[in-house]
Amino acid sequence: MRKEIISNPLFRTIFTRLGLGFVTLFAVSLIIFAAIAVLPGDFAKATLGRAATPETVANFQKSLGLDRPVAERYLKWIGGAVTGDLGLSFSSGSGTPRTVGSIIGPRLKNTLFLAGITALVAIPIALLLGIIAAIRRNSWLDRILNAVTLASISFPEFFVAYVLMLLLAVKLPLFYSLARVTPSMGSIEVLERIALPVLTLSFGIIAHMMRMTRAAIIGLLSHPYIEMAKLKGVPPWRVILRHALPNAWAPIVAVIAFNLAYLIVGVVVVEVVFVYPGIGQAMVDAVRSRDIPVVQGCALIFAASYILLNLLADVIAIATNPRLAHPR
Amino acid sequence: MRPSDTNLPARAVRYRRSRTGLVWAGLRRASLTTWLGLCVILLYAILALFAPLIAPYGEADVVSSQPFAAWNSTFLFGTDQLGRDVMSRIIYGARNSVGIAFITTTIAFLLGGTLGILSAISPSWLDHVLSGVADMLMAIPQLIFALILLALFGSSIPSIVMIIAVLNSTQIFRLARSSARNVAVMEFIEVASLRGERTLWIIVREILPNIMPTLIAEFGLRFCFVFLTISALSFLGLGIQPPSADWGTMVRESATFISYGNITPLLPAAAIALLTVSINFVVDWFLDIASGLRDDQ
C-alpha cells in the first residue's frame, strides 16, 4: 500500500511540487532578508540622521541586533517570523520599542477582510459571466464582455478607483469616498465604508477571472463527450450543468487560487487610494521612510501568501488531472 | 478534386508577398479599433517627440500666481499646486512617463531576450542555472519586489529603470527561451551548424527572424505592464520624482480634487489608460497578421 502511494505518479508529482514550493519559500525569505544584510547602505546612520555620534550608532545597532553575524540574524529573524515575531521597527525610539508585529498585525486583519469580501463578491460574478460567455461564444454579449474586460485589464487601478469615486461617491453620493475604518466600528458600518475599494478590486479581478473561466470552459466544450451529449439532444443548459461543469471545477478552482494571488498585489494601490489602513499602505509608508524591518515583514507576508496560493493552484491542477490519477 | 473544379479558370499564381506588402494587406483588413489604437499611439509619439513645440508653457515653469486655478482660456486645464500649467505638464508627461517606460522595456528585452536565446542553445547546466534564477525572481509579486528594492536603493530614475527592467526581463527570458528552443531543434539550424556557421550567425540569421513576431507582440504587452507598474509606483510617491512631469505623480498630487467633483486628476490617469488600451488593440491585430507572416496564406 505504502509502496503504491510512492510509486503513484500523482502523489509523486504533488510531493515534488510541494517540495519545490517550500524551497521557493525558503529562497524568497533569503532574498528578502539579504535585502538588509548584504546590500550597501548603513541604515542606522540613515535613520538617526547626520548628528549621530559613533556611540549612538553602535547603541542603535545593538538594540536592533544589527551587530550579530548574518547567519545568526537570519535564523533569529526567520524563527521569529514563523511565530509571528518580526523584530523591531526602525521607528522605535530608545525607550519605546515598537515591534513590527504591532504595526502590521491589526492592518493585516483589515487587508484580509478587504480581500475576503472582494473574493466573495467577485468569484460568483466572474464564474457566472465566464460560463455565460463560453456558452454564447462569439455572440454580441461575448464580444462586449471581451472588449470590456480587455479594457479593464489594461486600465491602471487608480484610474478605475477615481472614476468610481467620482461617479458613486461624489456625483451620486451612494458610498463613502474614503475607507477610513476604526476598530470600534460595527461590521455593517465597515462594510459600507469599504464598498468602493471592494468594487475597484472586483472590477480588475472579475475581468481576469472571467477570461480564464471562459477559456477553461471552451477548452472543455471541445471534448467528444460533450459533442455526444449534444447529439443525443440534451438541452444546452443541461450539457453545461450536468456534463461540463463537474469536470470544469478543477480548472476553475485553479483559476480562483491564481486570481487570489493576483488580488494580493492589487490591494496595495487600492488601499492607498481609499486611505484604508491595511498592510499594503503600511508597506508603502515603510518604503517611503525606509523602515526596512517593516518592509521585510510586509514583503514576507505578501510573498508567502502569493507563493502558497500559486502552490495551491498547481496542486489542485495536478490532483485533478485524470492522466495522473490512473497510472498505466 | 471534383470534376467540375477543372472547368474553373486557373487562378493566377500567387507570388510570395514581401513583408511590407503583408503589413499593408493587414492594415486594409484592420478593424476600427486597430486604426483607433494606431492613431492614438502615433499621437502620443508626436506629443513625446515635439513636446516643447506643442506645449504652451514649459514643463516646470511656474506660470501663474494662482495655484489650483480652475479651467480657463489661458490655462486650458487649470494650474497645479505650484501654479504650473496642467496641460503643458500632461504633454511633457508623454515624454517622461512613456519615454522612461519605453527605455525600461527595451533594456528588459535586451537582457531577457539575449539570455533567453543563449539559454536555449547553451549546455544544460547553464540553462538550469539561468532558468532557476528566473523562476526565483518570478516567485515574488513584481510590485512587492520593486517596493523592497526601492526601499533599499531609494527612488531615482536610474534605479527605477534598472529594477523594473530586471524584474520584467524574467518573463521575456522565459518566452525567448521557449520559442528559441522550438526553433533550435529544426533541421535548418542543424544544416547551418554542419555548414560551419558561427553561433552568432545562427542566432541572428536563423533563430531571431523566426521568433521575432512573438517577441514584437510581447514587447507591446510588456511595455503596457512596465508602464502600469511605473505609473503605480509614481502614484504611490515612490516612482519618478518631481519636478519631472509624470502622469502617475500628477494623479497623486491632485487626487483630493476628486472629492469636489473636479475631474482634473482623471486626465493624466485617462492618458495612461488610453495608451495601454490602444496598445492592446494593436497587439491583437499584429498577432493576427504575424500568423500570416509565418503561414504565408
Classify residue A217 as exposed, middle or buried by CB count within 10 Å of its CB (0-12, 13-18, 19+): buried
- What is the ipTM metric for this complex? 0.80
**Long-range Cβ contacts of A102-105 (<8 Å, 24+ apart):** A103/A282, A103/A294, A104/A279, A104/A282, A104/A294, A104/A297, A104/A298, A104/A301
Where does chain A have alpha helices with state H?
Answer: 2-7, 9-37, 43-48, 54-64, 70-82, 100-135, 140-154, 157-165, 187-193, 195-221, 224-232, 236-238, 245-273, 279-289, 292-319, 322-325
A45-72 per-residue burial string, b: 16 or more CB within 10 A, e: under 16? eebbeeebeeeebeebbeebebeeeeee
Q: What are the residue boundaries of the structural domains of chain A, listed by start?
A: 108-279
Domain A108-279 has CATH 1.10.3720.10: yes
Closest CA to A38 of A73, A88, A62, A81: A73
Chain B residues lying within 8 Å of A307, measured CB to CB:
139
Measured distance CA(B147)–CA(B245) in Å, rounded: 22
How many degrees, rounded to 5, is the angle at CA A101 between CA A98 and CA A103? 60
Check residue A131 and give left, alpha or beta (phi > 0: left; psi -120 to 50: alpha): alpha
User: Average pLDDT in the A196-222 region?
Assistant: 87
Q: What is the pLDDT of residues B142-200, one digit of tens each?
A: 888 888 888 877 778 898 999 999 999 999 999 999 999 888 888 888 899 899 888 88
- Nearest-neighbour CA in chain B from A69: distance (Å): 20
Q: Do B255 and A261 lie within an 8 Å CB cutoff? A: no
Q: Do B272 and A156 lie within an 8 Å CB cutoff? A: yes
pLDDT for the residue B116: 92
Closest CA to A316 of A246, A261, A253: A253
pLDDT for the residue A47: 59
pLDDT for the residue A327: 56
Q: Do B236 and A296 lie within an 8 Å CB cutoff? A: no
Measured distance CA(B140)–CA(A307) in Å, rounded: 7
Average pLDDT of the residues of chain B: 83
% of chain A residues with pLDDT over 90: 6
Nearest Cα residue in chain A from B144: A299
pLDDT for the residue A79: 81
- Contacts (Cβ under 8 Å, ≥6 apart) of B103: B161
How many degrees, rounded to 5, is the angle at CA A195 between CA B271 and CA A172? 65
> Do residues B272 and B246 lie in contact, with contact meaning Cβ atoms separated by under 8 Å?
no
How many degrees, rounded to 5, is the angle at CA A65 between CA A61 and CA A71? 125
Chain B residues lying within 8 Å of A165, measured CB to CB:
258-259
**Long-range Cβ contacts of A167-171 (<8 Å, 24+ apart):** A168/A196, A168/A199, A169/A196, A169/B259, A170/B258, A170/B259, A170/B260, A170/B261, A171/B261
B82-105 per-residue burial string, b: 16 or more CB within 10 A, e: under 16? ebbbbbbbbbbbbbbbbebbbebb
Measured distance CA(B266)–CA(A163) in Å, rounded: 7
> Residue A107 — very low, low, confident or very high, per pLDDT cuts 50/70/90?
confident
Question: A228 at the B interface (CB within 8 A)?
Answer: no
Question: A172 is written with which cell numbers?
Answer: 451620486
pLDDT for the residue B112: 94
- Contacts (Cβ under 8 Å, ≥6 apart) of A174: A168
Q: Do A28 and B139 lie within an 8 Å CB cutoff? A: yes
Question: B272 at the A interface (CB within 8 A)?
Answer: yes
Q: Do A287 and B151 lie within an 8 Å CB cutoff? A: yes
- Nearest-neighbour CA in chain A from B238: distance (Å): 7
Q: What is the pLDDT of residues A215-263, one digit of tens each?
A: 888 888 888 888 898 899 988 888 877 887 777 777 788 778 878 877 8
Q: What are the residue boundaries of the structural domains of chain B, listed by start?
A: 29-291
> Residue A135 — very low, low, confident or very high, per pLDDT cuts 50/70/90?
confident
* Whether residue A85 has pLDDT greater than 50: yes
Tell me which of A268 and A39 has the higher pLDDT.
Answer: A268
Question: A34 at the B interface (CB within 8 A)?
Answer: no
Question: A144 at the B interface (CB within 8 A)?
Answer: no
Q: What is the pLDDT of residues B7-25, one digit of tens each?
A: 555 666 656 667 777 777 7
pLDDT for the residue A4: 59
Measured distance CA(B295)–CA(A86) in Å, rounded: 57
User: E strands along B76-191, which residues?
Assistant: none
How many degrees, rounded to 5, is the angle at CA A169 between CA B269 and CA B277? 25
Q: Do B141 and A306 lie within an 8 Å CB cutoff? A: yes
> Do residues A296 and A35 lie in contact, with contact meaning Cβ atoms separated by under 8 Å?
yes
- Nearest-neighbour CA in chain A from B160: distance (Å): 14
Chain B residues lying within 8 Å of A39, measured CB to CB:
152
Question: A170 at the B interface (CB within 8 A)?
Answer: yes
> Do residues A73 and A32 lie in contact, with contact meaning Cβ atoms separated by under 8 Å?
no
> Do residues A142 and A136 lie in contact, with contact meaning Cβ atoms separated by under 8 Å?
yes
User: Average pLDDT in the B123-139 region?
Assistant: 86
Measured distance CA(A251)–CA(A130) in Å, rounded: 13
- Contacts (Cβ under 8 Å, ≥6 apart) of A5: A11
Terminus-to-terminus CA distance in chain A, angstroms? Answer: 17
Q: What is the pLDDT of residues A46-78, one digit of tens each?
A: 556 666 677 776 776 666 666 677 777 788 778
- Nearest-neighbour CA in chain A from B36: distance (Å): 14
% of chain A residues with pLDDT over 70: 85
> Do residues A280 and A201 lie in contact, with contact meaning Cβ atoms separated by under 8 Å?
no
pLDDT for the residue B7: 55
Nearest Cα residue in chain B from A302: B144
Chain B residues lying within 8 Å of A162, measured CB to CB:
251, 255, 258, 265-266, 269
B 218-237 residues inside an 8 A Cβ radius of A: 224, 228, 231-232, 235-237
Cα A276 to the center of its chain, rounded Å: 17
* Whether residue A290 has pLDDT greater than 50: yes
Least confident range from A295-299, B73-77, B277-281: namely B73-77
Name which of A32, A151, A162 is nearest B277 (Cβ-Cβ).
A151
The residue among A287, A288, A310 with the most chain B CBs within 10 A of its CB, best to mutate, is A287
Which residue is listed with cell 479594457?
Answer: A151
Measured distance CA(B76)–CA(A131) in Å, rounded: 46
The residue among B133, B147, B253, B272 with the most chain A CBs within 10 A of its CB, best to mutate, is B147
- Identity (one letter) of the amino acid at A214? R
* Whether residue B5 has pLDDT greater than 70: no
**Long-range Cβ contacts of A101-105 (<8 Å, 24+ apart):** A101/A297, A103/A282, A103/A294, A104/A279, A104/A282, A104/A294, A104/A297, A104/A298, A104/A301
The residue among B246, B256, B258 with the most chain A CBs within 10 A of its CB, best to mutate, is B258
How many CB pairs (< 8 A) connect A and B? 133
Chain B residues lying within 8 Å of A31, measured CB to CB:
136, 140
The CATH number assigned to the domain with range B29-291 reads 1.10.3720.10
pLDDT for the residue A45: 58
> Residue B295 — very low, low, confident or very high, per pLDDT cuts 50/70/90?
very low
